[in-house]
Chain A
Amino acid sequence: MLSEMFYKLWDAGLIQKGIWETVYMTLLSTAISYLIGLPLGVILTVTDRGGIHPVPWLNRVLGVIVNFFRSVPFIILMVAMLPVAKFVVGTSLGNRAMIVMLVIAAAPYIARMVESSVKEVDAGVIEAAQAMGASNFQIVYKVLLPEARPSLILGAVISMVTILGYSAMSATIGGTGLGQIAISYGHQRFNPDITWICVFLTVLIVQIIQEVGTAIAHRTDKRAKK
């Protein structure tokens, strides 16, 4: 039922390698994107009008930058950012360069996700912390982030799934993983079964991320369960 090509790829370990590359790229890109996006999202919240330390001009500038990167479609952004990748990791080819692209695309997205999670924290709780003499820094890491934790985890799940989608797209300019297998072995060499296997594997990975993430968010949420 499966084509000869599938067995060839499987025996050569290419499909297994593809799965690993997709997972690895997704996880690493998500982690690096959060290193940038999480502080950025917090700064967007804190400096906003009505935030705990309003700085309107900074908020405006960061907002424009974030919106700029968020509005360019990933496939165009990727091509446009090739020189940046070359500057950062010394090459515009391969997965290291792809991770740079993924981070450039995902960090602003994550910043907005974080911002919306953190803004859900009850203003009264923040006021209580202020009344106790908490500094803004203490409010961020003792109130805003812990109180927003379940929402942040759910946001991370959504971000990770988006990054996984981007990583497949990066195959068009030299990224590897399941996306690349689907394009070069499935699409270009007329093996629809391979394309479908890649689809199936991607769906499976997304399901696992979603289920695990939701379970963690739910388990750690101490508010009343709906």
Chain B
Amino acid sequence: MIELKHLCKTYSAPDKEIHALEDINLSIQDGEIFGIIGLSGAGKSTLVRCINLLERPTSGQVLVDGRELTSLPRKELLLLRRSIGMIFQSFNLLEQRNVLKNVCFPLEIAGVDRKTAEAKARELLQVVGLADRADSYPSQLSGGQKQRVAIARALATDPRYILCDEATSALDPNTTRSILDLLRQINRDLGVTIIVITHEMKVIDQICDRVAVIDHSRIAEEGRVSEVFTSPQSQIARDLIIPRDRAALDTKNGRKIRLTFNDAYSREPVISNMVLECQAPVNILFADTKEFEGVIYGHMIIELPADPKQADKILVWLKNSPVEWREEV
């Protein structure tokens, strides 16, 4: 288990102090895939680097399996880092080593002899589906292949945790999907706890069990992905589910209402019923459905008629309906 307690990180610039993280409290359970989502500059990269102490928090505690990292002697910290693998947006492979040697690298650092290391590396290349590229160099691989090598490398020392720092942000949608599937499979088959940092909601809803939304250096919201998706409590979470800067939402004609459907209503013609009963037209600006753990959830943003009378009629209808809704500002 990884626990972060009252974590703060402050950088001092010449003229002011920058608070990158403020009072972060999280606990990540063994075996889960935990997502940390936020816009760029929210502090999520700093946060993930505090977990393996690549960044030293200004105050607060980082506990990995009950051991407090910030007070650990450097030698022990280096040893402990072997139990936390890490993959990056830019892959960060050694360009002058071939694929096999890249995967061997953490084992070399750990002092494992060459034969054992190479056998282990070949086994892991099998897991990530690149057994036939052992002798290639990173420059000969595609982005997705490079990330697979990086994943194999991160697994070399049999870590209990893997940190993913925007691991799919440089990849196209199909490659992203296959890398996420691979992470899911590793989580399931090897029982590795995975911490995913991303700015993309689709990464969270594809593989994460729980999510923390980080905004302006603080945790804005935390919970099961299905809960956060169906009833986001914070503005930042709503924005991440449906970005407000979408061109389709850029309309000034009428008031905008966000509807959230859970399984019970997502299969019913709610909007049709509303329009028929109110005898007023609405404009659907955005709609999306997602499936979590076999349950279907939907989000929709509608624009009410410009005529206030008609708009009120719809609002009254919504108030009396079981559908969850809130007005967008």
Interface residues in A146-164 by Cβ distance below 8 A to B read: 146-147, 149-150
Interface residues of B in 64-106 (CB under 8 A from A): 77-82, 84-86, 88, 90, 92-98, 105-106
Given contacts A127-B54, A128-B86, contact A133 B110 (CB under 8 A): yes
For the complex formed, measure the closest distance between the CB of A152 and the CB atoms of chain B, giving whole angstroms.
Answer: 11
For A, the interface residue count at a CB cutoff of 8 angstroms equals: 24
**How many residues belonging to B are interface residues under a CB distance threshold of 8 Å?**
31
Query: A149 to B80, Cβ gap below 8 A?
Result: no
Q: Is B96 in contact with A147, judged by CB distance below 8 angstroms?
A: yes
Residues of B within 8 A of A142 (CB): 105, 108-109
Whole-angstrom CA separation of A161 from B92 in the bound complex: 34
- In the assembled complex, B139 has its CB within 8 A of some CB on chain A: yes
Q: A122–B139 contact, CB under 8 A? A: no
Q: Given that A131-B54, A133-B79, A133-B81 are contacting pairs, would A125 and B109 also be in contact in the complex, using a CB cutoff of 8 Å?
A: no
Answer yes or no: B52 CB below 8 A from chain A CBs.
Answer: yes
Query: Which residues of chain A are near B108, meaning CB under 8 Å?
Result: 142
Main secondary structure of the interface of B (DSSP, over half): mixed
CB contacts (< 8 Å) of A138 on chain B: these are: 109
Instruction: Please give me the residue from chain A that is nearest to B90 by CB atom.
Output: A124
- The reply on B157 being an interface residue by CB < 8 A is yes
Contact B78 A133 (CB under 8 A): yes
Q: List 18 A-B contacts (CB under 8 A).
A: A124-B90, A124-B92, A125-B92, A127-B88, A127-B92, A128-B86, A133-B77, A134-B109, A142-B105, A143-B94, A146-B96, A146-B97, A150-B96, A221-B96, A222-B95, A222-B138, A223-B95, A223-B137
Query: B residues engaging A (CB < 8 A)?
Result: 52, 54, 77-82, 84-86, 88, 90, 92-98, 105-106, 108-110, 137-139, 150, 157, 163
- Residues of A near any B CB (own CB < 8 A): 122, 124-125, 127-135, 138, 142-143, 146-147, 149-150, 220-224
